[in-house]
């Protein structure tokens, strides 16, 4: 069976690192391109981290650099969660700079999509600035995009604002462009990310899984996306889990809009599960996850990595 062509848009980021590893070593996904965007830390750092990861994983995937800032507001990063470099806690090899394309991420995505023999799945696990720019500059790409499977948003409370999730809240205008695009969207938000947990006993098991497991163990010691003892949140791996093991999710088709103007709610994903707004569904929202199934799948996926 053909592997599914995907482009990963990312801001590593400790949870991004594991999501990228799982995608690269899966039998089902063909990672055609990785694009970087400012988010967890600066564009320079997320790009460096991506190139270090590809060197570490021994994978020659082309990388293209994207947006250094959200569309409208300045970047407020998440270095408090991931450390100053974005991947504190492990001594990675040098960045594999020969993987860097000269093209901007938006142009590189357009090229991969338009030249693909089958529709491409976009997997943004970061603020969606690059995706919004792609759709605004080159709307013709829509005809060869299979779907967008994103980590972001929340039907409930937030992790950046009271009601807003980091990726969407960092660039709400970009998220609105994506949700208004008419493309098939799968939203793997905090509603599942908060239950996609890795516990200390899981981290101990990863120590014996080879170098990716060992890397994860030491990164998790530093990661502040939850607590090492009560469970670390593998937000970005939820997007990969949807692609590779969708049966672990409860999914509801509904209308999602992005609040841009709320004084206290800007960046919130308004997930209209009860149809109050009487708008046609524009997204499949993952509203629940089998946490035990996730843990088994996550450990099995990491064990398949280098």
Q: Strands 226-227 and 231-233, how do they pair?
A: antiparallel
Does residue 244 bind ligand RIB (CB under 6 A)? Answer: no
Q: Strands 145-151 and 185-188, how do they pair?
A: parallel
CB 62 within 8 A of CB 108: yes
Does residue 172 bind ligand RIB (CB under 6 A)? Answer: no
Residues 276 and 254: their CA atoms lie apart, in Å, by 11
- Residue 102: CB minimum distance to ligand RIB, A: 26
Q: Which of residues 221-280 bind Ca ion (CB under 5 A)?
A: 236
The 3-32 contact track toward Ca ion, x by CB under 5 A, reads: --------x-x--x----------------
The correct pick among 36, 121, 167, 301 for binding ligand RIB (CB under 6 A) is 167
Q: Which helix (H) or strand (E) holds 105?
A: helix 105-115
- Cβ atoms < 10 Å from Cβ of 45: 23
- Cβ atoms < 10 Å from Cβ of 208: 10
Q: Which helix (H) or strand (E) holds 187?
A: strand 185-188
Residues 239 and 226: their CA atoms lie apart, in Å, by 18
Q: Which of residues 61-80 bind ligand RIB (CB under 6 A)?
A: 78
Q: Which of residues 114-143 bind ligand RIB (CB under 6 A)?
A: 125-126
- Residue 288: CB minimum distance to ligand RIB, A: 18
Residues 264 and 164: their CA atoms lie apart, in Å, by 10
Question: Which of 196, 187, 173, 181 shows the shortest CA–CA distance to 272?
Answer: 187
User: Which is nearer to ligand RIB, 21 or 110 (by Cβ)?
Assistant: 21
User: Which is nearer to ligand RIB, 166 or 294 (by Cβ)?
Assistant: 166
How many residues of this chain interact with ligand RIB, rule: CB under 6 A? 16
Residues 107 and 293: their CA atoms lie apart, in Å, by 38
CB 29 within 8 A of CB 23: yes
Residue showing the smallest CB distance to ligand RIB in the complex: 166
Does residue 166 bind ligand RIB (CB under 6 A)? Answer: yes
Handedness of CA 166, 171, 177, 180 (dihedral sign): positive
Does residue 126 bind Ca ion (CB under 5 A)? Answer: yes
- Residue 112: CB minimum distance to ligand RIB, A: 22
- List the single partner that 257 binds among Ca ion, ligand RIB, none, CB under 5 to 8 Å by kind: none
The 32-51 contact track toward ligand RIB, x by CB under 6 A, reads: -------xx-----------
Retrieve residue 133's tokens: 């720019």
The correct pick among 6, 9, 16, 298 for binding ligand RIB (CB under 6 A) is 16
Q: Which of residues 96-125 bind Ca ion (CB under 5 A)?
A: 125
CB 238 within 8 A of CB 196: yes
The correct pick among 9, 77, 165, 171 for binding ligand RIB (CB under 6 A) is 165
Chain positions contacting ligand RIB, by CB under 6 A: 11, 13, 15-16, 39-40, 78, 125-126, 151, 159, 165-167, 235-236
Chain positions contacting Ca ion, by CB under 5 A: 11, 13, 16, 125-126, 236
């Amino acid at each position: 069976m053909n592997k599914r062509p995907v482009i990963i848009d990312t801001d590593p980021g400790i949870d991004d690192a594991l999501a990228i590893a799982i995608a690269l070593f899966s039998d089902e996904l063909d990672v055609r391109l990785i694009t970087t965007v400012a988010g967890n830390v600066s564009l320079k750092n997320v790009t460096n981290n991506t190139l270090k990861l590809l060197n570490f994983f021994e994978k020659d995937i082309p990388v293209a650099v994207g947006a250094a800032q959200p569309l409208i507001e300045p970047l407020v990063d998440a270095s408090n969660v991931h450390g100053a470099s974005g991947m504190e806690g492990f001594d990675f090899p040098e960045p594999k700079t020969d993987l860097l394309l000269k093209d901007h991420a938006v142009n590189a995505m357009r090229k991969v999509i338009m030249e693909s023999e089958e529709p491409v799945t976009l997997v943004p696990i970061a603020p969606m600035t690059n995706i919004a720019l792609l759709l605004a500059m080159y709307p013709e790409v829509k005809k060869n995009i299979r779907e967008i499977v994103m980590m972001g948003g929340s039907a409930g409370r937030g992790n950046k604002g009271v009601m807003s999730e980091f990726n969407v809240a960092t660039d709400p205008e970009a998220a609105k462009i994506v949700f208004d695009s008419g493309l098939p969207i799968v939203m793997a938000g905090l509603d599942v990310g908060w239950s996609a947990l890795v516990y200390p006993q899981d981290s101990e098991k990863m120590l014996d899984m080879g170098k990716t497991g060992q890397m994860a163990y030491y990164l998790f010691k530093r990661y502040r996306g939850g607590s090492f003892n009560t469970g670390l949140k593998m937000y970005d791996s939820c997007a990969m889990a949807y692609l590779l093991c969708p049966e672990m999710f409860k999914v509801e088709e509904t209308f999602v809009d992005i609040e841009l103007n709320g004084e206290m709610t800007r960046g919130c994903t308004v997930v209209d599960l009860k149809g109050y707004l009487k708008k046609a569904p524009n997204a499949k929202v993952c509203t629940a996850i089998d946490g035990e199934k996730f843990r088994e799948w996550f450990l099995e996926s990491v064990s398949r990595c280098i």
